[in-house]
Structure 1
Amino acid sequence: MQVAIPHQLGREEVRRRLSENSDQIADHIPGGMAEVQTSWPSEDRMAMAISAMGQALSGHIDIEDNQVIFHMDLPPALGFLKPIVEGAIRQSGQKMLEPPKD
């Protein structure tokens, strides 16, 4: 599953905001009780390992000039949740790219 979120921030600013807000990813996963680990295998890719609802999920975020693309691998058992997960990614992705609140 892929979800693209447009931005006008520049790659460096997107990297900074994703880095600063990555600890909040678990708060946006439906069902709660999720654990998320992130890493940066390259400058423009943040990898994610997610444990939620007894399932292990993996995904990554690719940073492009005008959009970020969330890639998520859903196991077949959770395929029915695709619309919910897609909506949550779109909403939380936009929040992660917002400017910091003072």
Structure 2
Amino acid sequence: MAKPLVVVIPHQLGLAEAHRRLDGGIGEAKALLQKAGLSMADASWEGERLSFVVGALNQKVDGHIDVAEDTVRVEVNLPRILSLFASKVQQVIGHNGTKLLTKK
């Protein structure tokens, strides 16, 4: 397995609001993944950690999102073959995460 991909997204929402927005964004993430031909097999909360499993190109991608007072840390374990797409995945996570966690 390749080194985990990590994206840290700062925010000013506080813990509860960041958690609420991420929880609300799960459905949107599933829809976006489905449009790209991917599937989210599992997503579950344990405290302030959201663990997930995504199916991509006959590969299993797992990871978790840790919510803190002023940051969200996303860690994705890409199989070696999918690590070729790591920079694009990192860019998409950063962009969409920032959009979701921007104060409105």
Bin of the TM-score, shorter chain as denominator length: 0.7 to 0.9
46-55 or 2-11: bigger deviation:
46-55
* Pairs aligned (count): 99
Q: Which runs of 5+ in 2 are unaligned?
A: none
Q: TM-score, normalised by structure 1?
A: 0.85
Q: Equivalent residues in 2 for 1:8-47 (5 A)?
A: 8-29=12-33, 32-36=36-40, 37-41=42-46, 43-47=47-51
Partners of 1:54 and 1:97 in 2: CA distance: 31
88-97 or 61-70: bigger deviation:
88-97
Moved over 3 A (4+): 26-29
**8 A Cα contact 1:3 1:70, kept in partner:** yes
Partners of 1:16 and 1:66 in 2: CA distance: 14
Residues 26-78 of structure 1 show CA distances to partners (whole Å, capped at 9, x for unaligned) of 3445x80111131002x210111101222110011001121100000010111
Q: Equivalent residues in 2 for 1:1-80 (5 A)?
A: 1-29=5-33, 32-36=36-40, 37-41=42-46, 43-80=47-84
Task: Compute the displacement of 1:80 (Å).
Answer: 1.1
Partners of 2:32 and 2:80 in 1: CA distance: 21
Q: Which runs of 5+ in 1 are unaligned?
A: none
RCO higher in structure (CA 8 A, sep ≥6): 2
CA RMSD of aligned residues (A): 2.0
**8 A Cα contact 2:13 2:103, kept in partner:** no
Task: Compute the displacement of 1:20 (Å).
Answer: 0.9
Q: TM-score, normalised by structure 2?
A: 0.84
- What is the percentage of aligned positions where both structures have the same residue? 30
